[in-house]
Amino acid sequence: MPVLVMKFGGTSVATLDRIKRAAKRVGLEVAKGYDVIVIVSAMSGKTNELVGWVNETSPLYDAREYDAVVSSGENVTAGLMALTLQEMGVPARSWQGWQVPVKTTDAHSAARIEEIPPENITAKFAEGMKVAVVAGFQGVSPEGRITTLGRGGSDTTAVAFAAAFDAERCDIYTDVDGVYTTDPRISPKARKLDKISFEEMLELASLGAKVLQTRSVELAMRYKVKLRVLSSFEEPSDEAGTLVCDEEETMENRPVSGIAYSRDEAKMTLISVADRPGIAAAIFGPLSDAGVNVDMIIQNIADEGRTDMTFSCPTDQVMRAEKALQEAKDSGEINYSELVADTEVCKISAVGIGMRSQSGVASTMFKTLSDEGINIKVIATSEIKISVLIDRKYLELAVQSLHDAFELDKAE
């Protein structure tokens, strides 16, 4: 039988009624002849509650016990989903990560999947089981301890299962009905895309679009897993949602496919740094060691052996960055006159595989922002992306203006 993977996020299984609704969707796919692997998240809000309990009990917690507690939310959902399917007459059972087993690294709370042997579940399919309901977000370490994959890890679980079982497709059910050209809450003209390439989706996910976890898209692209993003709350149809697939399968050939944004960005500038070989490594090495996620980097033209170095990072990592750079200065690794942090900026990005073959995207983007009186502080580019840092107060204006400028409300 062909295998289909279906993943249901927290809002899709938030109540018993929603679990029943999701189970009915699973039943429809079983009726079509699929063996189905269902990946479930914890019920909406449950993981936050469990994390809160851990922090309240032990602020300096043992990460192994953190995983044991926080992974339990998915176990509850998996059991309830399996019971619901059984009540519908669908042969189903629940699986925890260690039972499959989902083999991971031992990096507790941030583990990576290394292998998913298919034999155990395949044997149960052969015995007549039609649905394997698997607790997402979790696995087992080489030492036999429960691990978790980081927030949003159920998406990664689903794609990894689709790759391991050579599934026909991986359907991700969430509270939105697909991938949009931008956030519909900011631009009412945002349009749902029928298809989007892996590369574009990866850029959008990494730049702030929260439809899919970045690691899940990376896995899908590597193993050529077809992803479909759908709403749990709309009537099923073959045309529903957005298909994330190879570039060759996409239809749209416009230069820009979407406008993404990240609200919580900070711009940090080291003033009067020595302009010498190795200075970049001396700055960004300590930041990396401190776990600071550096994104955009600009070095000004040197003046009499001194230069300014600017970079961006998430606002919640500013204090960590300041501490790491101060320690590097105190140890003599680097020297600078001042460290200036601007925490009132945001990142706006235009993404599209059409940039590879069509010119004028940067010109249109910069002119549009200029016409709206928006000053660009930092620019970064890749083959299919242009990102800028601007004052956060202009975020909505910038998104709406760029969406209009690239006519993203119009289908090809």
Is 261 within any annotated ligand binding site? Answer: no
- 259-405 falls under which CATH superfamily? VC0802-like (3.30.2130.10)
Q: Give dist(CA 52, CA 73) in Å, integer.
A: 13
Q: Is 329 annotated as a binding residue?
A: no
The answer on whether 354 is annotated among ligand-binding residues is no
Query: Does the reported pTM lie above 0.85?
Result: no
DSSP 59: T
Residue 311 annotated as binding site: no
| Per-domain boundaries in the chain | 3-175, 259-405
Where does residue 393 fall: left (phi above 0), alpha (psi -120 to 50 degrees), or beta otherwise? alpha
pLDDT at residue 250 is higher than 70: no
Q: Are 100 and 121 in contact (CB under 8 A)?
A: yes
5 is in an annotated binding site: no
Ligand-binding annotation for 74, yes or no, is yes
Q: Has 210 been labeled as part of a binding site?
A: yes
State what percent of residues in the chain have pLDDT above 70: 97
Per residue in 277-288, pLDDT tens? Answer: 888 999 999 999
Residue 266, judged by CB atoms within 10 A of its CB (0-12, 13-18, 19+), counts as: buried
**7 assigned ligand-binding residue:** yes
Asked if residue 394 belongs to a known ligand binding site, the reply is: no
- CA atoms within 13 A of residue 73's CA, in its CB half-sphere: 27
User: Among the CATH numbers 3.40.50.300, 3.40.1160.10, 3.10.180.10, 3.30.1360.10, which is that of 3-175?
Assistant: 3.40.1160.10
Give the pLDDT confidence of 92-142 residue by residue, as tens digits: 999 999 999 999 999 999 899 999 999 999 999 999 999 999 999 999 999
